[in-house]
Structure 1
Amino acid sequence: MTMQNTARVSAEPAGPAREQAFQHALDVLVERRDEFAEQGYVPRDFIDLLKKAGIYRASTPERFGGEPMPPAEFLRLIERISEVDPATGWVASFGSALTYFAALPEETQAEIYADGPDICFAGGLFPMHEPEVVEGGYRCTGVWQFASGCAGADILGVGLAGGEETNGRPITALVDPSQAEIRVNWDVSGMKATGSNQVVLDDVFIPASRTFIRGSEPRIDEPFTRYPALAYAAQVLAVTGLGAARAALDYCTEVASARTSITGGSKRSARPSYQDGLARGEARLRSARSFFYETTDQVWQKALADEPIDDDLRALLRLATTHVAHECRSVVLDAFDLAGTGAIYRTHPLQRYLQDGLVPAQHAMLNSATYEAVGAILLGMKPSVPSFP
């Protein structure tokens, strides 16, 4: 798959026009989500609808025409998209990824945003390859995995191994999609539509000015760039689980509870076990969601006030994020159990939320190791997870 750039699409004006654009995107998604899953990616024409809804200027600095959203506001939009289709929510979540670009030289940022602030970025950051260092930058050859959303990207990123000059932290290098080949290898059962295929470069020169150390200090000082970038990268993925869990419980409440058993038994909703399971699912989901957004708002207020965000608070943000991913996975599984035998069919509505809702907790930034790392920080110890929190 060879990627080509197209004319830049801009967001509708803030207010009713943008809200209508967002609702239109949701309506189209209801009609096309099966198509996206079948083809294995979210296409550029739908990315353009998300751009019109403001998703892809949500982390562009104001200095360059962006309209940065408070993290909780953006996360709630991704949650709503994910209630329709979690995989498309995952792709839309990379509207947050431009926060990384704040670490680029200001001249490079100005160049990237010269045609407008609505930029779709996709990165295949692992494995980190050793580049050839040449005058003015790097020459890069290699294959990188998991480039979610690459089918609609304006800019691609690849991961390079850092050295002493980066304190071992990885480098992200930016390339134009026309410089790369997208090798289709995304054959999965969950998050099919993310199109997280391979990025292939063959002796591509990348100027040093188009690279940055991931997680390094931003060159632009705005409230959004003060918010912890690595934690936010985990949050925008975890929130897709919230959408999946919400949709799964809503199905159990609104649809499945009205049906009688195929064996001729009573409605499931009349069974104490069904009532108990539904109530416990609501409690787990709402509790995890509250912790997630409460901590997000707490950290955001620090960023707004330009106050230090210490490691303990950053760790709690990572904890709330991992916790919501794992709790949502459990809620989706409980909803699947409540729905009964019919839910095993591939065409059953819960299959979308089951298959996609299990994925966030599998991600490297959200797996169980996070709990151990947070515990170490809260105890005043060094975590075993690199670059944490």
Structure 2
Amino acid sequence: MSATTLLHPVPRDATPPADAPLPLEAVLAEVAARRTEFTTLRHVPRDMVAQFKRAGIYRAGTPRCFGGDAMAPADFLKIVARIAEVDGSAAWVASFGSANTYLAALPKATQALIYANGPDQVFAGALYPAQPAARQDGGWLVNGQWKFASGCMGAEWLGVGIGGGPGVKPVTAVFPAARVEIVEDWDVVGLEGTGSHDLRVSGQFVADDWTFQRGGAPIIDEPLYRYPAVCYQAQVHASVNLGLAQAALDIVNEMSGGKVTTTGAPRMADRSYFRIELAQAEAQYRGARAWFFDAIESVYAAILRGDDVTAAQASTLRLSATNAAQVAADVIRAAYRLGGMATIYSKHPLQRIVRDSMVVTQHAFLSSGVYDGAGAVLVGVPPFPGYP
């Protein structure tokens, strides 16, 4: 399925039924109208998540054997970037339509229970800090509190990290959302609407069949689940910054042809330094975006041919994602600087974009540590544990 197939066409004057497929453009219009609400609430509410479902976003990572679309990564990432052009928080929450790729590592019978009510299931989680769990017959007794559960307010299923330790990846324990307490402590500047609250679990038993290791071998044998899951999650976050950067460039370009400034200086479009820096920012952005999608499409094509993903290919996916996120943030700062004094007002759209983009670059999957791991792969020495 391509990205455009999510744009379910309907007549302009038609009102689709409440459960009918929804064109992506209609979703984008709703996001644009409500993005201030998302910031105020500090989460994207469930009725908006329901619209994402109607647009097919939360079945994009669901296996076809359970009625999902198992969409090619590049197609889904372009949708995330398009939403981010309108609002970063909404795109971040929508990006977890990819998170069901993690669930493909669960036993197939468990997955069948998750998708029993349909393929449009929202999974969110918080793995860290991983908490010790007491072993019991057939499972674990889970207690603890975890941070950064983006999108938890609209999720049907929530995962938390248990076990782990030095050099050992934690295991994710999956619960119905009703069995997990959401601690509403998301008080930040940037991506405020993602609802990345803490999760708390008190004395809840989880059976072994409801646990998996993030990035573990998938049970589902479909092409999407042979794509590196951790790399994919880094890429959905990077796509948010790509969309934000496109919006920033569009905004400052539109500003350039406006009226003469209050000081009587020429329009920005008439200033050579403005044109030069804008062109440089455009070139940086397009270069980073092109490599990002080229790496994704190259690896997925190899998977479709039946090839295994190599460590070098996975490292390139991580490196190109980090580069895309970081370059996009630089481009956004350049756009902010080129916008001049007008951009300092709190309600100027570039204010929100700058803040959101800085939060994206702080994510561990896109940190400067990725450069160390990628450099190690390039020179042929062992990277740090867990990379890529």
TM (norm. structure 1) is 0.93
In structure 2, C-alpha distance between the alignment counterparts of 1:225 and 1:14, rounded to whole Å: 24
Contact 2:21 2:54 (C-alpha < 8 Å) held by counterparts: no
Aligned letter for 1:233? Q
Shift of 1:126: 0.8
Aligned letter for 1:115? N
In structure 2, C-alpha distance between the alignment counterparts of 1:333 and 1:65, rounded to whole Å: 42
Contact 2:93 2:194 (C-alpha < 8 Å) held by counterparts: yes
Shift of 1:181: 1.3
In structure 1, C-alpha distance between the alignment counterparts of 2:369 and 2:119, rounded to whole Å: 36
2:120 to 113, 118, 122: 118
Cα deviation digits, residues 72-112 of structure 1 (max 9, x gap):
00000000000000111011000000001110011101111
Alignment of 1:368-379 (within 5 A): 368-379=368-379
Q: Secondary structure at the match of 1:264?
A: coil
Shift of 1:357: 1.3
Alignment of 1:135-284 (within 5 A): 135-162=137-164, 168-284=168-284
Q: 1:13 to 1:354 in 2, by over 3 A?
A: closer
| Alignment correspondent of 1:5 | none
| Alignment correspondent of 1:364 | 364
Shift of 1:269: 1.3
Aligned letter for 2:242? L
In structure 2, C-alpha distance between the alignment counterparts of 1:218 and 1:68, rounded to whole Å: 13
Shift of 1:260: 2.4
In structure 1, C-alpha distance between the alignment counterparts of 2:178 and 2:354, rounded to whole Å: 36
Cα deviation digits, residues 200-250 of structure 1 (max 9, x gap):
111111111110011110011110000011100100001000011000000
Cα deviation digits, residues 22-42 of structure 1 (max 9, x gap):
111111011000110111100
In structure 2, C-alpha distance between the alignment counterparts of 1:144 and 1:323, rounded to whole Å: 28
Shift of 1:21: 2.6
Alignment of 1:69-88 (within 5 A): 69-88=71-90
Contact 1:226 1:306 (C-alpha < 8 Å) held by counterparts: no
Q: Secondary structure at the match of 2:366?
A: coil
In structure 2, C-alpha distance between the alignment counterparts of 1:250 and 1:52, rounded to whole Å: 28
Cα deviation digits, residues 127-164 of structure 1 (max 9, x gap):
00001111121111111000001110010110112379
Structure 1 gaps of 5+ residues are 1-11
Worse-superposed segment, 235-244 or 153-162: 153-162
| Alignment correspondent of 1:66 | 68
Q: Secondary structure at the match of 1:76?
A: helix
| Alignment correspondent of 1:34 | 36
2:129 to 124, 127, 131: 127
2:46 to 35, 44, 47: 44
Aligned letter for 1:119? Q
Contact 2:134 2:142 (C-alpha < 8 Å) held by counterparts: yes
Q: Secondary structure at the match of 2:23?
A: helix
Q: Secondary structure at the match of 1:356?
A: helix
In structure 2, C-alpha distance between the alignment counterparts of 1:14 and 1:333, rounded to whole Å: 32
Aligned letter for 1:345? Y
In structure 2, C-alpha distance between the alignment counterparts of 1:149 and 1:53, rounded to whole Å: 17
Contact 2:89 2:193 (C-alpha < 8 Å) held by counterparts: yes
Shift of 1:333: 0.4
In structure 1, C-alpha distance between the alignment counterparts of 2:255 and 2:40, rounded to whole Å: 25
Contact 1:39 1:193 (C-alpha < 8 Å) held by counterparts: yes
Contact 2:285 2:328 (C-alpha < 8 Å) held by counterparts: yes
Alignment of 1:76-115 (within 5 A): 76-115=78-117
Q: Percent of aligned pairs with the same residue?
A: 43
Shift of 1:256: 4.1
Cα deviation digits, residues 289-310 of structure 1 (max 9, x gap):
0000000000110111220211
Q: 1:163 to 1:126 in 2, by over 3 A?
A: closer
| Alignment correspondent of 2:386 | 387
Shift of 1:16: 2.8
Aligned letter for 1:170? P
Cα deviation digits, residues 343-377 of structure 1 (max 9, x gap):
11110111111111122211101011111110101
Cα deviation digits, residues 28-65 of structure 1 (max 9, x gap):
01100011011110000000000000000001111111
Cα deviation digits, residues 259-298 of structure 1 (max 9, x gap):
3222221111111111111101100000000000000000
Aligned letter for 2:9? P
Q: Which runs of 4+ in 1 moved over 4 A?
A: 12-15, 17-20
| Alignment correspondent of 2:59 | 57
In structure 2, C-alpha distance between the alignment counterparts of 1:35 and 1:159, rounded to whole Å: 31
Contact 2:7 2:22 (C-alpha < 8 Å) held by counterparts: no
TM (norm. structure 2) is 0.94
Aligned letter for 2:218? P
In structure 2, C-alpha distance between the alignment counterparts of 1:158 and 1:308, rounded to whole Å: 29
Task: Confirm whether residue 312 of structure 1 aligns to residue 312 of structure 2.
Answer: yes
Shift of 1:177: 1.3
Contact 2:21 2:56 (C-alpha < 8 Å) held by counterparts: no
Q: Secondary structure at the match of 1:387?
A: coil
Q: Secondary structure at the match of 2:130?
A: strand
Aligned letter for 2:92? W
Number of equivalent positions? 375
Aligned letter for 2:221? D
Cα deviation digits, residues 178-217 of structure 1 (max 9, x gap):
1111111111111100010000111111111110011110
